[in-house]
Amino acid sequence: MTADPTTARVPVGAVVLGVRTWRPDVVHHPPLVLLPGTGDTAEAWDVVAPALASARLVHAVDLRGHGASDRPGRYSIALMAGDVAALLPRLPDGQVDLVGHSLGGLVALDVAAAHPGLVRRLVLEDVGLLRPRAPAPPARPPGDLAFDWRVVEQVRPEIDDPDPRWRAVVAGVRAPALVIGGGPTSHVPQEQVADLARALPDGHLMTIEAGHLVHDVEPERFVEVVETFLTSG
């Protein structure tokens, strides 16, 4: 049985990241790092992290601008990936398995492509292959937020009009990768999720019909699929 998570703020260059960690009684597998989507914090993983931590260290990370991490006012997928890449060597036990949901999945792709020695296996939850699309910027919700709204203002244009570099990023991922689609009720076009799985050099596709928040809506199925992938081969 895992204990309650501990929290820490870890300096990584110019920013400090909030990290939430679950520690098992006995470690049998490489550590697992969880990256949430836009607007979500490390606590978004609480529904699945204890089960994933039954035999491995699990670290859920607040991306810059979110939760307990710094809000420097400058945001991009590349900056977030740089933060995470600087964090991973600070974690024990060498290579990690990396899971990213939505924006966290794009960050995870960037990390895995640029730093293949850091990532053993990759799981991407409801992430599609980026294609240009008509901008439809959301309105800021009222009240205090758990993240800096400037993340949306600065990162959303990158997703609406993606840099051509993303083709090389996806092609450069050497780690085996599982892409989990949320099915037809997700706002992410599932053909783009399938396209991402096909474009990855060692990509595999699984659909769990739960919408965009797969791990939240179908936590037991999500854990089962992720554990099977991470421990196979």
Say if 209 falls within a structural domain.
yes
What φ, ψ does residue 187 adopt, rounded to 5°?
-80, -10
Q: Which amino acid appears at position 80 of this protein?
A: M
Q: Count of CB atoms within 10 A of residue 224's CB?
A: 13
Say if 1 falls within a structural domain.
no
For the chain, the domain total comes to 1
Say if 30 falls within a structural domain.
yes
Burial (Cβ within 10 Å: 0-12, 13-18, ≥19) of residue 227: middle
* CATH code at position 186: 3.40.50.1820
Say if 87 falls within a structural domain.
yes
pLDDT tens for the chain, 233 residues: list them: 456 999 999 999 999 999 999 999 998 999 999 999 999 999 999 999 999 999 999 999 999 999 999 999 999 999 999 999 999 998 876 799 999 999 999 999 999 999 999 999 999 999 999 999 999 889 999 999 999 999 999 999 999 999 999 999 999 999 999 999 999 999 999 999 999 999 999 999 999 999 999 999 999 999 999 999 999 96
Domain span at 97 = 6-231
Q: Is the dihedral of CA 66, 75, 215, 175 positive or negative?
A: negative
Report the DSSP pairing between strands 15-22 and 6-12.
antiparallel
Say if 70 falls within a structural domain.
yes
Say if 136 falls within a structural domain.
yes
| Confidence (pTM) | 0.97
Say if 19 falls within a structural domain.
yes
User: What are residue 96's DSSP bridge partners?
Assistant: 119
Q: Which two tokens stand for residue 196?
A: 């991402």
What φ, ψ does residue 97 adopt, rounded to 5°?
-95, 135
**Separation CA 197–CA 28 (nearest Å):** 28
Say if 177 falls within a structural domain.
yes
